[in-house]
Amino acid sequence: MALQALGPRVWPRLSQFKPPVLRIPGSETLYVKSRHWLGQSQPQGPGLRTRLLITALFGAGLGWAWLAARAEKEQWRQQQRMEALRQAAVGQGDFSLLDHKGQPRCKADFRGQWVLMYFGFTHCPDICPDELEKLVQVVQKLEAEPDLPLVQPVFITVDPERDDVAAMARYVQDFHPRLLGLTGSKEQVAQASQNYRVYYSAGPKDEDQDYIVDHSIAIYLLNPDGLFTDYYGRSRSAEQIVDSVRQHIAAFRSILS
């Protein structure tokens, strides 16, 4: 009976319940209900343009550092190469030869000029013409750059028995108007070849008294002081030699300035 006196129990309506609230210090209130969660704005990071700019700048920095390290390494290798060449004492002695016009020539005649020099012989069937043609291409490419000095091309024979003044004159005219052909006696040619560490040896003669001369294959670079500066083997292309000569000229100018 007491329970009836109390009357029917009144239950609260469901609408009176509020959704639970999760509070995180330092942030806005986050509602558990999905509609409230989706309705809140999200914190935004850097824009796309900013991220792309940062990435580009970072990449550029890495690229610059790589190029700088590569240039430093190449400079070190060049210095090591030059030191090895100086120790080899190439081109230290003088020479006395005749040019293709019959005029006497010595090493001092080329002071003040950059010189590209090749040792070969006029009866060479393929290698010498190819190397001289490459040498001429280098000279022509350098001539096309007005800020660079003229480079003197020189061809020294290792076959003085057949390559006299007249033979050299006929031969050099087919390559470049400034190509200078040098010849001399066997002793004079031997001295010049020895100075530049050039090996050569005449092979056996055939029934026509013809023969091939085996010899070193290299193009030598001399600076205006007459000093041997670099050499280029058969595998080096004309473009590679041009780049190397440019670098040597720039380095020589920096020393003088």
Q: How far apart are the first and last CA of the chain?
A: 121
Do the annotations mark residue 106 as ligand-binding? no
Residues 6+ apart with CB under 8 A from 256: none
The answer to whether the annotation marks 176 as part of a ligand binding site is no
> What is the H or E stretch that residue 187 is in?
helix 186-195
Beta bridge partners of 104: 98
Q: Which 3 state secondary structure label does DSSP give 219?
A: strand
CA atoms of 114 and 231, how far apart (whole Å): 13
3-state helix, strand, coil in the chain (%, to 5): 45, 15, 40
What's the DSSP call for residue 93? S
pLDDT at 47: 73
Which pLDDT belongs to residue 257?
Answer: 73
What does the pLDDT profile of the chain (257 residues) look like in tens digits? 444 444 445 445 544 545 554 454 544 444 444 444 444 455 555 677 787 778 877 777 777 777 777 656 656 665 665 565 555 567 677 899 999 999 999 999 999 999 999 999 999 999 999 999 999 999 999 999 999 999 999 999 999 999 999 999 999 999 999 999 999 999 999 999 999 999 999 999 999 889 999 999 999 999 999 999 999 999 999 999 999 999 999 999 988 77
For 116-178, the three-class secondary structure string (H helix, E strand, C coil) is EEEEECCCCCCHHHHHHHHHHHHHHHHHCCCCCCCEEEEEEECCCCCCCHHHHHHHHCCCCCC
- Select from 22, 15, 17, 16 the least CA-distant residue to 36: 22
pLDDT of residue 91: 67
Tokens for 33? 């209900």
Rounded Cα distance, 67 and 244, in Å: 18
| Contact status, residue 85 vs residue 220, Cβ threshold 8 Å | no
125-131-134-138 Cα dihedral, nearest 10 degrees: -150
C-alpha 193/C-alpha 117 separation (Å) is: 11
* Residue in 165, 209, 157 with CA at minimum distance from that of residue 186: 157
